[in-house]
A and B are shown apart, each in its own frame.
Chain A
Amino acid sequence: MSTLFPLRVRGAGTRRRGKQLVGPINMTWDGGGTRVVLGPNGSGKTTLLRLLHGIARLHDGEVIWASGTKAAQNAQAFVFQRPVMLRRSVVENLMYPLRLRSVSTGQARQKAEDWAVKVGLADHIDRSAPVLSGGEQQKLAIARALIGEPELVFLDEPTASLDGRATREIEAILNDAVASGTRVIIATHDMGQARRLAKDVVFLLHGRVHEESPADTFFDAPQTPEARAFLNGDIVE
């Protein structure tokens, strides 16, 4: 059903003023189920997601989506580590991606209100988005990403600022989305969440894929000492 997969990444890398931020990255993804990106701070999770989505400059190698790059980006949505709020009301934030695709105002509004209810923002619908709390902003950003029914959604630590209950709510929403055919790739520091969501795991270290394996394998029998140390909460060198 999805036209994006398989995804093939060959020697992809990005630099900044000559310094290699990530790469060379090699991986493939058939898009079956949720993929979790793990790794210590600064290991390149955010940069990898941006690279795949096409909003970070690809200096080396290639990122090949089955559908082609342009079509791929249109079929994807991205939730940033620090949510970007449009200076508009909650409902207008939700309507924005729909209005970009010329969905009529009435339909867009209806759908936006449904999503506001889904993420627990129904009471805040007419408030301006930038004054919401951090957690509320994150929920809004997730709803705004999913409202356009993307084939794939990138989530960069989406629940880092949410409490336990909100985290579970978001995970439930993600599971719904997955059930209806959306694929998810998520970077997280929450190991519980990683275990709950992951079908497979990419473990990054120093800007490279250090381990890429099915979730069961990764959590129960990690292949490398670094991954083992990371899972134990030890310092990874």
Chain B
Amino acid sequence: MVDLWQGLSQAFWLVVTLDAELAEIALRSLQVTFTALALGCLIAMPLAALLAVRRFRWRRTVIAVLNALMGLPPVVVGLVVYVLLSRSGPLGVLGLLFTPTAMIIAQMIVIVPLMASIAHQSLRDLWAEYHDLLISMNVTQSQKIKTLLWDARRALLTAALAGFGRGIGEVGAIMIVGGNIDHVTRVLTTAIALETGKGEFALALALGFVLIALTILVNLLIHWLGQTEREGRW
């Protein structure tokens, strides 16, 4: 219990004094996850829409695989990305290992299946609703996808938030590919792991509280942005 209180008060002081190191790793956390989120959405959302509107041979298989990948263990993702990016690996020449870019790649792999699966469910329902109308209007494939993505934007926001939550709290993958290097690849979660390992429980807890606060803040912000339309049943 003492540690918990110490952690809280330390978190409080770290925040009010705008601790430089804390600010740095918190910002890096946000930067890595938001980049992974933005790039991940560009892949996940159109993929989800395509899976909803298009009938092709391996559609069911792709969906099943995507659903299964939602539970992909991040450590394993980290390991695979590590092997690919390591100097002797196929992408070794890029020299990306132990950089924030590597962390972004790993996080994308972790969150894309999650976001695509959630998005696909709502897009599929919406497509069932719209199917007859859009077929009747002779819309092209890309118009279909645009229409679905736009009209399901609230549900997509929820999918994105789920991706953000998973990304920002993720430690296994980015620890491996980022290496938790001070001033380079250290983020909130890896710092927490490090401080815990060193027995600095209060500091670890303080970082943990900051992480939770950040997550809540971002969620509230995005929800508030999504509420800007006055009326809506969707």
Residues of A within 8 A of B (CB): 53, 55, 73-74, 76-78, 80, 84, 86-88, 96-97, 100, 127-128, 130-131
Secondary structure class of chain A's binding surface, majority of residues: mixed
Inter-chain contact B129/A131, CB cutoff 8 Å: no
* 9-residue interface stretch from B18-26, B178-186, B226-234: B226-234
The answer to whether B67 has its CB under 8 Å from any CB of chain A is no
The answer to whether B2 has its CB under 8 Å from any CB of chain A is no
Q: Which of A53, A55, A96, A130 contacts B234 (CB 8 A)?
A: A130
B111-162 contacts to A, CB under 8 A, are: 126, 129-130, 132-133, 135-139, 143, 147, 151-152
Residues of B within 8 A of A (CB): 126, 129-130, 132-133, 135-139, 143, 147, 151-152, 229, 231-234
Q: A84-B133, A86-B133 are in contact. List 20 more A-B contacts (CB 8 A).
A: A55-B132, A55-B136, A73-B138, A74-B138, A77-B137, A80-B133, A87-B151, A87-B152, A87-B232, A87-B234, A96-B137, A97-B137, A100-B137, A100-B139, A100-B143, A127-B231, A128-B229, A128-B233, A130-B234, A131-B232
Complex Cα spacing A74 to B140, Å: 12
CB within 8 Å: A-B pair count: 47
17 cross-chain CB contacts under 8 A: A55-B135, A55-B136, A74-B138, A78-B132, A78-B133, A80-B132, A80-B133, A84-B130, A84-B133, A86-B130, A87-B234, A88-B151, A96-B147, A97-B137, A128-B231, A128-B234, A131-B233
Closest chain-A Cβ to B66's Cβ sits at a distance in Å of 24
- Chain A residues whose CB sits within 8 angstroms of the CB of B133 once the complex forms: 78, 80, 84, 86
Closest chain-B Cβ to A198's Cβ sits at a distance in Å of 23
- Chain A residues whose CB sits within 8 angstroms of the CB of B232 once the complex forms: 87, 128, 131
Which one of B130, B132, B133, B233 has the highest number of Cβ atoms from chain A below 10 Å of its Cβ? B133
Complex Cα spacing A74 to B229, Å: 33
Closest chain-B Cβ to A101's Cβ sits at a distance in Å of 10
Closest chain-B Cβ to A138's Cβ sits at a distance in Å of 14
Nearest 5 A/B pairs, CB to CB: A84-B133, A78-B136, A87-B151, A87-B234, A130-B233
